[in-house]
Structure 1
Amino acid sequence: MTKPILILGGASLDTIIHLPALPTPEPQTIWPRESYRALGSTGAGKSLNLAALGQTVVFHTLLGEDPEGQQIQVALGHPGIRLLTEQTDAPTEQHVNLMSADGKRISLFIQPPPEPEQVDWNQAQQALAECAVAVVNILGYTRSALPWLKASGTPIWTDLHDYDGHNSYHEPFIDAARAIFLSSDNLPDYRTTMEGLIARGKEFVVCTHGSEGATLLNKEGRWLEQPVMPVSGVVDTNGAGDAFFSGFLHRYLQGAELADCLRAGAICGALCVTSRELASPELSRERLA
């Protein structure tokens, strides 16, 4: 049994709207194919996928004292997830995600993540002593945890998402992390960015390319490529990147080679897009094996 994984930040209640194509700038009336509300955000996605794979997760997030916060707590009621919630005066984070038939997305943060002046990290600090790794998501409030996380010596992993290679907002997370994940959405020259991150002392960097697979560079200068796993049909691409991250981390903690970790990530990402859920109901340790 592996040690627990500490995850900091990222739970929202989202409205998902499926459209034939993303809207163009001119005024128009659009008839969605379907819409629904669902659990969202990067910490929730990682927590649910890792728990489905049999990992124990300690997940810290901020929630408002509102119905949305209560719904999130219910949705995260997995026996493998220990939820550390801190109530804020601000409303719970909410997004509207416009999804096109080809899997593209526009996310509207109709209620941004809370950023209180002070965060009570006491429970998370106590939990860290038992954890194998700390996953720090790039929410503003998690930056205040980076000093004590670095001081602990626990490996820190972070997911920069659509980082452009220059945004100073990401710098504290980059500095603290041992392993970095990001997407090539805003990186036409992603290999140069990956090389720059490795030069800053990272163990490895993984860059995902949506339907084009993923690329890894490790500190020894070895490049690995992972094609996307084929699926019979795409239902919802929300959370695919977090599912990929989770499959990779799961196999890494089992001592697998990096190529096998990449393959596990691709399987989890593929399963994710075949359902509405952040973690596919079909995902399990046995299915991944």
Structure 2
Amino acid sequence: MTLSAVTITLAADGPRLAAAPPLPVEALILGKPVTEAADLLPRLFNLCAGAQGLAARLSLGLPPGDGDPAAEIVRDHLARACVTLRAAAGLAPLRLPADPATLFGPAGRLPRDRADFSDWIASPAPAAALAARLVALFPAGAATCPALPPPPADDPLAEGAFENSAAGRQADHPLLRSIEADQGRGPLWRYLGLLADLEAAMEGRLPPATCHNGIAVVPAARGAYALRLTQTAGIVTGLARRTPTDHLLAPGGALLQSLARLPGADGRLAPLVVALHDPCLPVTLREAEPCTR
């Protein structure tokens, strides 16, 4: 099932998620010749199209083409760091830089330890202002999620609550480990994880795309995208896919757990929390109607 949109209700007993009718992806793909299906699948989604196209071609045993997941990830991360996340936090957008490394300031990279981070967050580095804003908005422990496991390597199509995100991919970065130990996996951890993943994409340090037993796993902007397409005589007969958003929105997933830990149940910060988790579908936030009895 491919989710099309969700509504999250912020209630006193915790956030509740309701999903809209799923997208009919299977109906559009099944029965198509393999080359047509591989070309069609990325056109159905305007986010991470390159990753989805590469996964389709790998799963079907077709040549991978000239798509570059790292380039797509860099573009997506830059747009989020310079425009969408800043807008969600009430900051003016930044012009997208020709050299992404300039976001980090003169060093051209994210600080590695807390001492350097303390200097960096007070510096004029373009990416530092949003980090400082998140520190001001969210006290330690606010809007956090406990450490969830990554998707299982032996079953990348598994359903459930997994940490399948850009920050999760970079969880071993020394600065992220320090922030997690001190404040938890909250808004600052997720933002710095995005920056660490941007740096990794720029430097060619992302996990490679793989395909085992017909299941392709491709790095995408929001995490790892898994896809299996089966075929008979060159016609697609089956489709199974698992996206970072599937794991993010699963019961007990990172987004609902983080929304449940908003400081003082402050719904005004909920849109920013959603933006930092970045589900690849429309999310409507609403507050539960107060009980009048």
TM over 0.5: no
Q: Taking CA–CA contacts closer than 8 Å with sequence separation of 6 or more, which of the two structures ends up with the larger relative contact order?
A: 2
Structure that is richer in strand per residue: 1
| Superposition TM-score, scaled by structure 2 size | 0.29
| Superposition TM-score, scaled by structure 1 size | 0.29
Structure that is richer in helix per residue: 2
